[in-house]
Amino acid sequence: MANVKFHSGKQLPLEMHKVRIVQKLFLPPVEERRRLMNEAGNNTFLLQNRDVFMDMLTDSGVNAMSDLQQSAMLRADDAYAGSETYNRMVAKVREIFGMTYFLPVHQGRAAENILATAYVKPGDVVPMNFHFTTTKAHITRLGGSVEELIVKEGLEPVNDCPFKGNFDIPRLEALIAKVGPEHIPFVRIEAGTNLVGGQPLSLQNMRDVAAVCRKHGLRLILDASLLQDNLYFIKAREAECRNMSIREITAEIASLMDIIYFSARKLGFARGGGISMRHREDELRMKELIPLYEGFLTYGGMSVREMEAIVVGLDESMDEDIISQGPQFIEYMAKELHRRGVPVILPAGGLGCHVNATEFLSHIPQEQYPAGALAAALYIAGGVRGMERGTLSEQRNEDGSERFAELELLRLAMPRRVYTLSQVEYAIDRVEWLWKNRALVGGLRFVEEPKVLRFFFGRLEPIGDWQDRLVAKFREDFGDSL
């Protein structure tokens, strides 16, 4: 991937690959999109993919595989025990992370389940720079709690901080002093904070967290699911790392950790995951849980074909030309929207472009889920499926009151090696149109609300007739166009 300056003076991200396999897309008419959105309970997770033009819901499991990954899948060894595919995967993870022990799992949240089950007990506190939804759910179901210790800049929509995902080290020290190391089963770093705009941590900040953990005898765990974006940002933004290779930066990060887990649906361009460990006692503690929850120790619930794809995908995640595509396309989208007046998270992070729904829909109170309303409105306006990352993604407090999110974001994920620049321009155009017509958008309320992870399968309805008015305005401005 490269940023290339054109003769006109314009600088654009340039794809460093060519497309050889294509998949047909469909764009239903706006009236149909409004009907489909309501049938899906105004929850973009419940839309059918056949009704989505641009799927920017997530980057998880929807990234394009390379030719080398596709060919590697043909040599998969499907032996239940003693599989050569498993041996190749273990060897590749050891090569990249430098850790002796490895346990396979079928995806990232499976690793979260194993880790929480092995280490968390009632009353425990898990410090982290910021939580992820399923991580927090696994910890709280076992009676533990989560403390988010991200630096204050991480919760500011726009500033010039290059590493808004950093741990606040003084707050970490204060928390350890308050609760005691014996009540902290591990400290978790999320490399690329998903819920606050995919913002990265610096290598130096990880060193600082590791030093605190060593001083207090605490286990340090890295969620490396979004590591490849974070690696790109470290090389691009951290002065001491500019002359380091991606593999060298990865090795330095891994040397600081006791355990690294990852979702290969993000890191590795395939579907699966794993837990890599430095210490034998950690492997023994978790090993017996793999057959119980996942599958045998040689596949952990994964298809061996996917495991072969992960082996190649992990190598590709160490290639700067490959991993730069996502961040550079996201930066382009964020800067273009910002130039047109649309409020977005800046500097742009990884994973996707994040629209600030609090400012975009400032007339909608937080209890009416402005980020969720914006996600519904964007699908109606353009057939683009984004994901709400705000209050709707939180769980209610024990007394039933809303736990309001620090940030109300609409995430427009950028699946790796999937979309062309013209498609990104289309998404930008539809977001800009919504911004100019934002006064038409109203709030949402639940009609079916699950108690846990409600954003996955809860159903909502629009408050008032704002969606009808949005469709009418679309027809006024675009005529017969889709």
List the catalytic residues: 80, 132-133, 223, 266, 389, 455
Written in H, E and C, the secondary structure of the chain is CEEEECCCCCEEEECCCCCCCCCCCCCCCHHHHHHHHHHCCCCHHHCCHHHCCEECCCCCCCCCCCHHHHHHHHHCCCCCCCCHHHHHHHHHHHHHHCCCEEEEECCHHHHHHHHHHHHCCCCCEEEECCCCHHHHHHHHHCCCEEEECECHHHHCCECCCCCCCCECHHHHHHHHHHHCHHHCCCEEEECCEHHHCCECCCHHHHHHHHHHHHHHCCCEEEECCCHHHHHHHHHHHCHHHCCCCHHHHHHHHHHCCCEEEEECCCCCCCCCEEEEECCHHHHHHHHCHHHHHCCCCCCCCCCHHHHHHHHHHHHHCCCHHHHCHHHHHHHHHHHHHHHCCCCECECCCCCEEEEEHHHHCCCCCHHHCHHHHHHHHHHHHHCEECEEECHHHCCCCCCCCCCCCCCCEEEEECCCCCCCHHHHHHHHHHHHHHHHCHHHCCCEEEEECCCCCHHHHCEEEECCCHHHHHHHHHHHHHCCCC
**Residues linked to residue 276 through DSSP beta bridges, in sequence order:** 102, 260
**Residue 284 CB coordination number (10 Å):** 11
Q: What are phi and psi of 464, to 5 degrees?
A: 90, -165
Amino acid found at 288: E
